[in-house]
């Protein structure tokens, strides 16, 4: 039996809010599930299996009418609960109920729970303190990458790679030369690195200027990577003029931000990578937001080839034991937590079967 | 054992006549058979396995000389019967006889029988009354689509989809709201729908104008879909000024035509789709023929994504039982006939083996 | 078990020297092995498995520093012996030793031995008498083709195909009409064809002019194809004004050259094809070298579709017995030698296991 590689009973970012607009649905595969996302009454987000119960057409090529998803092939109208509401000249009461998904729009993202809807608890959607806060601004984007989502977690929990992959922007030799500290706190993992009295690399020079600060003086620099399941990584990054407290410095001595990474498995070897940056300086400066987004997009694009070639290599040598060095501890610990959650999920499935008899599969 | 999805002992359209011209062969896969079509003496069409008995080169990259297909690799000359006729400096009598195919050019199409040549009966090629008739004009084209050929039969035997897939051209809400009638007549299936006193949609407005008729008055509209095995669907479509007899109206009150669909399996999940329209008004107006072809081509292209996404969905959920509603009866009945024909074909194969001993396979 | 299709303990051309330049490695798959080629100290060529022992990144996307291959992901420094030399803040003594390859730069090519490094004998690299000889000039190029490397050997050991595939340049009917002679000499195969008193085809007319000779007179033409294992084919080709001794004619009566073909398997069904031409007339004329390269490149590109379509056909009919005619004897005999070498290689592997106990696999 194929090993499950990601939890399915978890909240994942499926899309940016603006990707599902008007009467046009969005079809996207999340954790192996083909899902049609659409806006129902009052722009309420809904998510159903992207499969028309009539003849198997992809519902996502249809359109929304009266809050229902109309199949673009023969006009079946699907409700957010997976039940067919109507179809021209047809009685639809006996139509099979299709799988629907717990889905929630929050913080400018559409969150989906690809597993069992009955287990979805909206309180588990992580709180993003920088979102909906006027003192912060956010900009970001989306990349599709052909790699196991855990390779991206490894990537983000070990920023040593900035020195090599992002040498011309955020990388600098001092990252490499500074030890890293990894802590596990329940289901969370925190990897941190602090560099004192170094010169800022180009990206941070620009950020200092963006905050009205001198860019040609020594700084203290920090990177604090925070993993939380299933696959979110928030990274506090920044520089402060040296000697003003570093990470703890006041805003008029530093340029800092939170790198936001939602890593959503599409399949075992591909991801939807939602990347962005939240900052709490000059939040109203939209040109700055655009500049940062453009710069970050170019930098993060440098990871694509690295990850896809790494994935190809691992598929060619599936039995090779990757090394687990201190710099890898963030990824290693994150993977342990993921494995524990997957095991719990599988155990729960076994217990459900034991207590309820054979699983009742909805539709198919 | 893999289920056979299409009859092989049947006539399929393999190409439009103009696709095989001069000394250049055409290589095309039909029902899983790689075939080289070429013009022999007097432009007579010929079809042989696209595989040179010498070293396996594709014969279709060669050329025709003296009525023989010359292999473009080392000059072997292949005859229409699959026998090598000559090769420079070689004695070819002992060369294996390759598979050749019954093939016939008729009505501007090249018809092939991909199964056993000895069973091919040219009288079984359907009679096309609109072809070779000066009162009719025909224009059409070819699309390659990645779907099971039966999905296209379903599509054409249930024109309800026009309301959704072709909303801006031939679709209109009244199609959806009108019941459909399905009849089985031996190996043929007929699905018909009649709509009275409705306004014509844009495509039919243009057709009325093309026939010199007012386009802004109410019409009676009809759709009569005729399936015949293995996979041909002819559809009588048209509009007549309301109250003049509809389908039975005289030519000076209507614009009507026959939609021509030859659906040829390439593989289990891909087709060569020959589409076109035959009309019996203003047959000499070539500009009108071109206009109609262009319009129909654009409309029929709208089906491609629908069918390919449906095919992907069905491959992902192979065990889902598609619904069989009244509107699906045309496709459902057509599939039953196809299944019966395939079963007969398999039974005949078994009997051949029983009476003749082990099957003699030609060449390989 | 899958049949081995190529020897691995053999020297193959992996690249042209200029493909590995400066600090940029070249990643290329040779005989199924993903290899990173790079220039170490003093431009010495090195070759290691293209797989970082740390986390599996492709080393070929990194760069060279201080003669070591730096992983572009986290800065591991790999030596030419497959041993990690250093990594920032890490102790690397315990890192697994990765596979490295015997590699040699000679005659403007990079030669690699994809099998067991301990068996690599540099004296086995073929001597190319035309290389490093000021009386000769060489120009060539590289094509990637999706075919079994043995199909290209067949192609080059039977030049009958020039009449068909290269009809407008080097082909002429007389090739076809002249018998061919095939000799086996140990591990070498020689196929030769001589044509007397014929008119030169366009490519050879140009070559005669390039050597200051009349191009509109009858010539004697020769083709002598020399296969040596694993997959090198050198072909003496040329024309001499008729009656001056043909192949043996002095340089002022002929235009002759050696077609150089190194056919390197990438996988079972794809190759790196290094083609070129060495000539010993006007060697200092670089414009002539460029002209010939351009002409040859266009001619040899005509083989690509032929070979790729042939490969597809053979994959579709894997059990078909290809014919073995006299013109095929060169390829047939070459394949026999290859089979014998593969069998010896497999036998040696078995003996190694028997005498040494279980094979010690380096790394994985």
Give the position of tokens 């008029």. Answer: A252
Question: Subunits that touch chain B (at least 3 Cβ pairs < 8 angstroms)?
Answer: A, C
Q: Looking at the complex, does the CB of residue C34 fall below 8 Å from at least one CB of chain A?
A: yes
Kindly state the tokens that stand for B102: 């019954």
pLDDT of residue C360: 33
Distance in Å, alpha carbon of C45 to nearest chain B alpha carbon: 39
ipTM reported for the complex, 2 dp: 0.93
pLDDT below 70 — which residues of chain C?
Answer: 1-2, 352-364
What is the distance between the alpha carbons of residues B128 and C27, in angstroms, rounded to a whole number? 59
Domains of chain C: 12-123 (2.102.10.10), 132-341 (3.90.380.10)
pLDDT bracket for residue B362 (50, 70, 90): very low
Give the position of tokens 């009973």. Answer: A9
Q: Looking at the complex, does the CB of residue B309 fall below 8 Å from at least one CB of chain A?
A: yes
pLDDT of residue B100: 98
Q: Which of B163, B317, B328 is the closest to A51 by Cβ?
A: B317
pLDDT of residue B1: 52
Q: Looking at the complex, does the CB of residue B265 fall below 8 Å from at least one CB of chain C?
A: no
Q: Looking at the complex, does the CB of residue C322 fall below 8 Å from at least one CB of chain B?
A: yes
pLDDT of residue C3: 83
Please report the sign of the dihedral spanned by the C-alpha atoms of residue B50, residue B56, residue B60, residue B65: negative
Can you say how many angstroms the Cα of residue B359 is from the centroid of all Cα atoms in its chain? 30
φ and ψ at B247, to 5 degrees? -50, -35
pLDDT of residue B359: 34
Q: Looking at the complex, does the CB of residue A313 fall below 8 Å from at least one CB of chain C?
A: yes
pLDDT of residue C349: 81
Are C54 and A323 a contacting pair at CB < 8 A? Answer: yes
Are A316 and C34 a contacting pair at CB < 8 A? Answer: yes
Question: Subunits that touch chain C (at least 3 Cβ pairs < 8 angstroms)?
Answer: A, B
Tell me whether residue A363 is exposed, middle or buried, using C-beta atoms within 10 angstroms of its C-beta: 0 to 12, 13 to 18, 19 or more. middle
For the CA atoms of C61, C67, C68, C71, the dihedral, rounded to the nearest 10 degrees, stands at -30
Residue range B14-30: average pLDDT?
Answer: 97
What is the distance between the alpha carbons of residues C155 and C153, in angstroms, rounded to a whole number? 5
pLDDT of residue B358: 39
C68, C81 contact by CB (below 8 A): no
Q: Looking at the complex, does the CB of residue C354 fall below 8 Å from at least one CB of chain B?
A: no
Q: Looking at the complex, does the CB of residue C86 fall below 8 Å from at least one CB of chain A?
A: no
Distance in Å, alpha carbon of B307 to nearest chain C alpha carbon: 27
For the CA atoms of A234, A240, A244, A246, the dihedral, rounded to the nearest 10 degrees, stands at 30
Distance in Å, alpha carbon of B206 to nearest chain A alpha carbon: 25
Are A74 and B164 a contacting pair at CB < 8 A? Answer: yes
Q: Looking at the complex, does the CB of residue B358 fall below 8 Å from at least one CB of chain C?
A: no
Q: Looking at the complex, does the CB of residue C128 fall below 8 Å from at least one CB of chain A?
A: no
Cβ-based neighbours of C80, under 8 Å, separated by 6 or more: C40, C44, C46, C47, C48, C100
Are C55 and A319 a contacting pair at CB < 8 A? Answer: no
Q: Looking at the complex, does the CB of residue A51 fall below 8 Å from at least one CB of chain B?
A: yes
User: Which phi-psi region, left, alpha or beta, contains residue A186 (left: φ > 0; alpha: ψ -120 to 50)?
Assistant: left
Between CA B162 and CA B164, with CA B163 as vertex, the angle to 5 degrees is: 90
Q: Looking at the complex, does the CB of residue A83 fall below 8 Å from at least one CB of chain B?
A: no
Q: Looking at the complex, does the CB of residue B318 fall below 8 Å from at least one CB of chain A?
A: no
pLDDT of residue B160: 94
φ and ψ at A343, to 5 degrees? -60, -40
Burial A242-274, CB ≥16 within 10 A → b, else e: beeebbebeeebbbbbbbbbbbbbbeebbbbbb
pLDDT of residue A352: 64
Distance in Å, alpha carbon of A310 to nearest chain C alpha carbon: 4
A74 to chain B: closest CA residue: B161
C29, C249 contact by CB (below 8 A): no
Identify the helix (H) or strand (E) that includes residue C36. strand C33-39
Kindly state the tokens that stand for A244: 């003003």
C72 vs A contacts (CB less than 8 Å) = 164-165, 306
What is the distance between the alpha carbons of residues C221 and B137, in angstroms, rounded to a whole number? 58
Q: Which residue has the higher pLDDT, B2 or C262?
A: C262
Q: Which of C176, C309, C320 is the closest to B364 by Cβ?
A: C320
pLDDT of residue C363: 40
Are B54 and C154 a contacting pair at CB < 8 A? Answer: no
Q: What is the pLDDT of residues A198-229, one digit of tens each?
A: 999 999 999 999 889 999 999 999 999 999 99
Q: Looking at the complex, does the CB of residue A29 fall below 8 Å from at least one CB of chain B?
A: no
Q: Looking at the complex, does the CB of residue A193 fall below 8 Å from at least one CB of chain C?
A: no
Distance in Å, alpha carbon of B324 to nearest chain A alpha carbon: 8
SS3 label, residue A261: strand
Q: Has residue B14 got a pLDDT over 90?
A: yes
Q: Has residue B355 got a pLDDT over 70?
A: no
Distance in Å, alpha carbon of A331 to nearest chain C alpha carbon: 11
Distance in Å, alpha carbon of A54 to nearest chain B alpha carbon: 5
C320 to chain B: closest CA residue: B364
B58, B98 contact by CB (below 8 A): no
Q: Which of B73, B89, B364 is the closest to C317 by Cβ?
A: B364
A55 vs B contacts (CB less than 8 Å) = 154, 310, 322-323, 328
| Disruptive mutation site among A155, A168, A313, A316 for chain C (greatest number of C CBs within 10 Å) | A313
Please report the sign of the dihedral spanned by the C-alpha atoms of residue C155, residue C158, residue C164, residue C170: positive
Q: Looking at the complex, does the CB of residue B34 fall below 8 Å from at least one CB of chain C?
A: yes
Are C179 and B89 a contacting pair at CB < 8 A? Answer: yes
Q: Which of C56, C75, C363 is the closest to A164 by Cβ?
A: C75
The three-state (H, E, C) secondary structure of C271-334, written as one string: EEEEEEEEECCCCCCHHHHHHHHHHHHHHHHHHHHHHHHHHHHHHHCCCCCCCCCHHHHHHHHH
What is the distance between the alpha carbons of residues B99 and A345, in angstroms, rounded to a whole number? 56
Q: What is the pLDDT of residues B264-274, one digit of tens each?
A: 999 999 999 99
B164 vs A contacts (CB less than 8 Å) = 62, 70-75
pLDDT below 70 — which residues of chain A?
Answer: 1-2, 352-364
A32 to chain B: closest CA residue: B316
B94 to chain C: closest CA residue: C323
Q: Has residue B61 got a pLDDT over 60?
A: yes
B58 vs C contacts (CB less than 8 Å) = 306, 309-310, 312-313
Identify the helix (H) or strand (E) that includes residue C336. helix C329-356
A50 vs B contacts (CB less than 8 Å) = 313
């Amino acid at each position: 039996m194929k090993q499950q590689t990601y939890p399915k009973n978890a909240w994942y970012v499926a899309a940016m809010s603006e990707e599902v607009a008007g009467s046009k649905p969005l079809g996207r595969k999340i954790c192996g599930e083909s899902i049609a996302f659409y806006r129902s009454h009052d722009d309420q987000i809904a998510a159903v299996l992207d499969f028309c119960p009539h003849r198997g057409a992809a519902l996502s090529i249809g359109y929304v009418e009266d809050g229902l998803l109309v199949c673009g092939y023969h006009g079946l109208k699907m409700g957010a609960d997976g039940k067919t509401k109507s179809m021209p000249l047809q009685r639809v009461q006996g139509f099979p109920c299709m799988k629907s998904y717990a889905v929630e729009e929050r913080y400018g993202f559409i969150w989906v729970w690809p597993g069992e809807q009955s287990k979805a608890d909206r309180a588990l959607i992580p709180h993003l303190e920088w979102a909906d806060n006027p003192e912060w601004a956010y900009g970001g984007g989306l990349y599709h990458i052909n790699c196991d989502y855990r390779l991206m977690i490894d990537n983000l929990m070990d920023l040593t790679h900035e020195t090599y992959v992002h040498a011309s922007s955020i990388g600098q030799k001092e990252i490499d030369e500074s030890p890293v500290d990894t802590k596990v706190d329940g289901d969370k993992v925190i990897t941190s690195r602090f560099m004192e009295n170094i010169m800022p690399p180009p990206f941070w020079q620009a950020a200092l200027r963006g905050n009205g600060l001198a860019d040609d003086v020594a700084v203290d620099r920090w990177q604090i990577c925070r993993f939380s399941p299933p696959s979110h990584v928030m990274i506090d990054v920044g520089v402060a003029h040296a000697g003003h407290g570093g990470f703890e410095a006041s805003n008029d001595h530093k340029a800092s931000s939170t790198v936001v990474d939602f890593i959503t498995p599409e399949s075992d070897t591909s991801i939807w990578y939602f990347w962005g940056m939240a900052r709490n300086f000059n939040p109203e400066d939209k040109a700055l937001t655009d500049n940062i987004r453009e710069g970050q997009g170019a930098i993060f694009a440098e990871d694509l080839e690295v990850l896809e070639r790494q994935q190809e290599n691992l598929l060619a040598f599936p039995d090779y034991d990757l090394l687990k060095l201190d710099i890898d501890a963030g990824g290693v610990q994150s993977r342990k937590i993921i494995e524990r959650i997957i095991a719990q999920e599988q155990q729960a499935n076994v217990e459900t079967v034991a207590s309820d008899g054979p699983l009742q599969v909805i539709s198919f």
